[in-house]
Each structure stands twice: as structure tokens, then as C-alpha cells.
A and B are shown apart, each in its own frame.
Chain A
Amino acid sequence: GENVEQHPSTLSVQEGDSAVIKCTYSDSASNYFPWYKQELGKRPQLIIDIRSNVGEKKDQRIAVTLNKTAKHFSLHITETQPEDSAVYFCAASKGTYKYIFGTGTRLKVLA
């Protein structure tokens, strides 16, 4: 069935370093790939998204890349700050209103 694999499950980086989280999806018909940030006890918040007709998208310190051939997409956070510490989820959708979420990555930014 449809699934999204997300790695790593935990990631610790020093403040100022970069962080990369990777996801792989199974359904080649997927065409929309959002990333959410969830702080402890709070709702997931959309931080960036990418559609299948685009290879890369940037928003300040955050970027997402998509490799449709390999069915991979990745989140890149540069110049990490303590407030970037959270759980990050990727998801894949093919426009049927249904998202398939990854299992999440707990990012810790060490001051």
C-alpha cells in the first residue's frame, strides 16, 4: 500500500549547523509534498511544501528538494537555532484529499 518512510527518527545538531531530513514515498502518482513542524503538545504547522512540477523550493533558512525519479524528497534547514527544535513530519498526497504522513523526525538543536 501507500507509505512514506522518513529518516532519521532523531537528529541532533549544533546550533548554526545544517539539518537534513529525508523522505521516500511509494506512490508515483503523488504530486504534493508538505512538511510540518510540531512543537511539544501543539498542532502541526505547515512550514514549506513542494509540488511535483518543481525540483526545489526555498524559504529563508528552509528548503525542500524533490527527486521524482527516485521518489525522494528532503527538508534542509540551514543555520539552525534552538527554536528549530521540534518534531518534523513529511507527507505525500496525490490530490485525493488524503495525506500519507511519515513517522516524524525529532530534531534537537544544541546551544
Chain B
Amino acid sequence: DGGITQSPKYLFRKEGQNVTLSCEQNLNHDAMYWYRQDPGQGLRLIYYSQIVNDFQKGDIAEGYSVSREKKESFPLTVTSAQKNPTAFYLCASTQGDTQYFGPGTRLTVL
């Protein structure tokens, strides 16, 4: 999973702003995912993409948007419509059945 990078590591946002979290992988994996993790909680699926130019909503997609224009990139935008965006965001990609995670981005709304 060293081939999955996320940036930035920490991100601060003012209320009402949109922010974009980067996720890049050089593993040639087809499928990519975004999860949200709140303190003491499990991982909740926001969006996932199985192939370029296609993506599906997960369990908590409201207030988020994604794009998949390139196989190696799957950016997540947290919009102002997301009422409680402070969380740890994890990107993952899949080889076969196995998901590998990026190092995460911690987003804080000021």
C-alpha cells in the first residue's frame, strides 16, 4: 500500500468552503474508494469507482463529490453541503479482493 498517496495529510477548512482531497495510486488498480472515519468509529463508504469515468455512491455520499478521469487518480471534494465534515478520510484501491489503504487526510472544519 506504499503505492497509494493522499494529500494533504492535514487540511483545515472554513465553514462554507469546498475542499478537494487528493488520492493517487501507481499500482495499476482498477477500483478505488473513499471512506470516512470518525473517532472511535468504523469505516463508512462515501464513493467508489470500479473503472475510469464511472463511480457509485456509497452509504454516506451526501455532501461529497468525486471524479475518475484517470485510472491512477480519484479526488474527493467535500462540499459546503456536508454539514459535519470533520473526520479522517481514507482512500483505498483494490487488487483482486484485497483493499489497500492510503495514509489518510485529517480534515478539520474551523
Contacts and interface: CB of A to CB of B under 8 A. Distances in A.
A27 to B, nearest CB: 14
Interface residues of A, number: 22
Contact of B90 (A44, A95, A98, A102): A44
A32 B99 CA distance: 11
A101 B106 CA distance: 20
Q: Which of B43, B50, B100, B106 has the most CB of A within 10 A?
A: B43
B42 A43 contact: no
Contact of B48 (A43, A49, A97, A104): A97
Contacts, number: 49
Interface residues of B, number: 22
Interface string A49-93: 101000000000000000000000000000000000000010001
Q: Binding site of B, secondary structure by majority: helix, strand, loop or mixed?
A: strand
A95 B48 CA distance: 14
A18 interface: no
A29 interface: no
Interface of B: 1, 31, 40-45, 48, 50, 58, 90, 94, 97-104, 106
Contact of B104 (A43, A99, A102): A43
Contacts of B102: 43
Given A43-B1, A45-B1, A101 B42 contact: yes
B97 A93 contact: yes
Interface of A: 6, 32, 34, 36, 41-46, 49, 51, 89, 93, 95, 97-99, 101-104
A62 to B, nearest CB: 16
30 contacts: A32-B97, A34-B97, A34-B98, A34-B99, A36-B101, A42-B104, A43-B90, A43-B101, A43-B104, A44-B43, A44-B90, A44-B101, A45-B1, A46-B98, A46-B99, A46-B100, A49-B97, A49-B98, A89-B43, A97-B31, A97-B50, A98-B45, A98-B58, A99-B45, A99-B99, A101-B42, A101-B43, A102-B42, A103-B42, A104-B40
Given A45-B1, A103-B42, A98 B101 contact: no
